[in-house]
C-alpha cells in the first residue's frame, strides 16, 4: 500500500531531531554512546512505527534503529517514536545502502535485522527492489554480527517462498519456518495491519534466519 504525501509529516521530519540519526554528519562517538553495550537491531521499513515502539518498550535493554527513505512515512514514524518517549529507538531517514556504507566504514554491526511486511515487488523486472533480493542479502550478511539473526514476516505467499529460497541460497541457518504464524514470538510485536490480515483469513508467514561462517558475502560466490 502506497502512503500518500502528508506535508505535516515531512515538516515534522525536518523539524524534530532528538530521535534522528543523520548520515551526512554521522557522529560515531555519539552513536556508540547511544548504543553502549546493548544489543543493536535494525528495522527496514518501519511503517507508522507501531511495531518498533511496541517491541522497544518490551526490550528497554536493547537499542533499535529504523531505516525509511520515504519522507512521509519517516515523519509519521518519527512522531510515533517521539510521542512514545522511548530513549532506545532512533530513525534514519536515508536509503538503506547509505546506512550500510556508513556503518561498515565505522565497524558497526547489528545483532538482528527486522523485515516486516516488505513490499513484495511481484513483477520480475522489479526483483532487485525486493528487500530479500541478492543485493540486499549481501549487505545484510556484511552488517550482521557473527551470530546475528534476520526476522521476517509477510502476508504474501509468493514473496515469502521467494525469500525463504533466497536465504537458503545464501546459506543462512533457518531457525524458524512457519507458514501460519498465530502466536507471537517473545521477540516480536504486532504491526499496524497484522491483526487485520489475520481477521481477513490471511495466513502470516514468519521466518527467522541466523548468520554463520558459511553465509555468502560476495556476489562471485553465488551459483
Q: Taking the CB of residue 94, how many other CB atoms lie within 10 A of it?
A: 17
- The 3-class SS string of the chain reads CCCCCCHHHHHHHHHCCCCECCHHHCCHHHHHHHHCCCCEEEEECCCCCHHHHHHHHHCCCCEEEEECCCHHHHHHHHHHHHHHCCCCEEEECCCHHHHHHHHHHCCCCEEEEEEECCCCCCCHHHHHHCCCCHHHHHHHHHHEEEEEEEEEEECCHHHHHHHHHHHHHCCCEEEEEECCCCCCCCCCCCCCCHHHHHHCCCCCEEEEEECCCCCCCCHHHCC
Q: Which residue has the cell 534466519?
A: 209
Count CA atoms within 13 Å of residue 59 on its CB side. 16
- Of 119, 158, 173, 186, the active-site residue reads 119
Contacts of 70 (CB under 8 A, 6+ apart): 3
Task: Indicate if 185 belongs to the active site.
Answer: no
The catalytic residues are 119
Amino acid at each position: 500500500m502506497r502512503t500518500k504525501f502528508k506535508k505535516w509529516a515531512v515538516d515534522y521530519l525536518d523539524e524534530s531531531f532528538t530521535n534522528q540519526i543523520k548520515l551526512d554528519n554521522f557522529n560515531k562517538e555519539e552513536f556508540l554512546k547511544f548504543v553502549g553495550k546493548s544489543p543493536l537491531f535494525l528495522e527496514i521499513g518501519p511503517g507508522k512505527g507501531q511495531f518498533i515502539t511496541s517491541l522497544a518498550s518490551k526490550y528497554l535493554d536493547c537499542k533499535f534503529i529504523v531505516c525509511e527513505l520515504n519522507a512521509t512515512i519517516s515523519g509519521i514514524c518519527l512522531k510515533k517514536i517521539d510521542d512514545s518517549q522511548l530513549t532506545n529507538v532512533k530513525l534514519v531517514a536515508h536509503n538503506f545502502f547509505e546506512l550500510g556504507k556508513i556503518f561498515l566504514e565505522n565497524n558497526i554491526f547489528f545483532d538482528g535485522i527486522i523485515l516486516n511486511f516488505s513490499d513484495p515487488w511481484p513483477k520480475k523486472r522489479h526483483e532487485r527492489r525486493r528487500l530479500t533480493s541478492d543485493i540486499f542479502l549481501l549487505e545484510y550478511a556484511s552488517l550482521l554480527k557473527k551470530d546475528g539473526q534476520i526476522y521476517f514476516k509477510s502476508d504474501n505467499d509468493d514473496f515469502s517462498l521467494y525469500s525463504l529460497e533466497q536465504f537458503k541460497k545464501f546459506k543462512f541457518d533457518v531457525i524458524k519456518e512457519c507458514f501460519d504464524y498465530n502466536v507471537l514470538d517473545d521477540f516480536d510485536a504486532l504491526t499496524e495491519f497484522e491483526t487485520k490480515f489475520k481477521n481477513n483469513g490471511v495466513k502470516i508467514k514468519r521466518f527467522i534466519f541466523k548468520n554463520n561462517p558459511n553465509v555468502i558475502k560476495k556476489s562471485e560466490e553465488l551459483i
